[in-house]
Amino acid sequence: METLLLDSNTWLLVLTGAGVSAESGVPTFRGMNGLWEDQPVTEVASPRGFAKDPMRVWRFYSQRRAGAADVSPNPGHEALVAWERHLGDRFLLATQNVDGLHRRAGSQRVVEMHGNLFTSRCSNPDCTRPPFPDTTVYASGTVPGCKECGALLRPHIVWFGEQLDPDDLTRIESFAVKAMRSGGRLVFLAAGTSGAVYPAAGMVDNVRAAGGETWLVNLDASENASSFEHFVQGKSGEVLPKLGRLV
């Protein structure tokens, strides 16, 4: 296996996808065949679906909360924690996963691009209440309301048809810019994701254009694996603990 050198000159940007969580036993949309209770997942993961049936949406997310609470971080999560402790501010983890497993493992410099399953917010865009921690598994038939304005609460998740938070994208871009200005070695590693769709595809292209180093760790070879300088095929929980060499 190739070795990823993590020394005092390295700045590491990591992007994790559903494959990392799947190794802990977290169901993925792909594993659901795009369906939940014989309905397209978009019916429970979109603004339109929420407006149509908020009770069904909350039933779906309460089930996901219950399931995610029963799983634990895997060795892939733990390897990233070790890398972060070694690199400090020269490490940034961006994740597409919403299960919170990275933080539970001990990761601190995390950008949760798609939100967090255990956070809720008011569905009223004019409400001043900020997103807040919420681990409640609501009983079937329950739709929680906002204590500030009385509107319905919704999971703090980036749904289909919604845009990623510009502040998250700015934080990732700023990290890469700071790395390049430092004169250090910028490395982008995508794990548990195909790397073929946005934002992974954009990240690998931008880092390569800036002269950075790119790695892909995934169970399957994606259609754009050739866009990465290094491709290591396998489960992230098995590959990552052996991949990094801390010096």
Any idea which residues carry the catalytic annotation?
A: 114
**Pick from 191, 181, 202: nearest CA to 243:** 191
DSSP 8-state assignment for residue 45: S
Contacts of 155 (CB under 8 A, 6+ apart): 57, 58, 61, 115, 117, 119, 120
What single string gives the DSSP state of each residue in 156-208? EE--TT-PPPHHHHHHHHHHHHHHHHTT-EEEEEEESS-SSSTTHHHHHHHHH
- Residues 171 and 169: their CA atoms lie apart, in Å, by 5
CA distances from 178 to 82, 106, 120, 185, 186 (A): 22, 24, 32, 11, 10
Decide if 151 contacts 134 (C-beta within 8 A).
Answer: no
- Residues 46 and 143: their CA atoms lie apart, in Å, by 16
- Count the Cβ atoms, other than its own, within 10 Å of residue 207: 22
**Pick from 71, 149, 80, 75: nearest CA to 110:** 80
* Beta-ladder partners of 154: 121
Decide if 121 contacts 153 (C-beta within 8 A).
Answer: yes
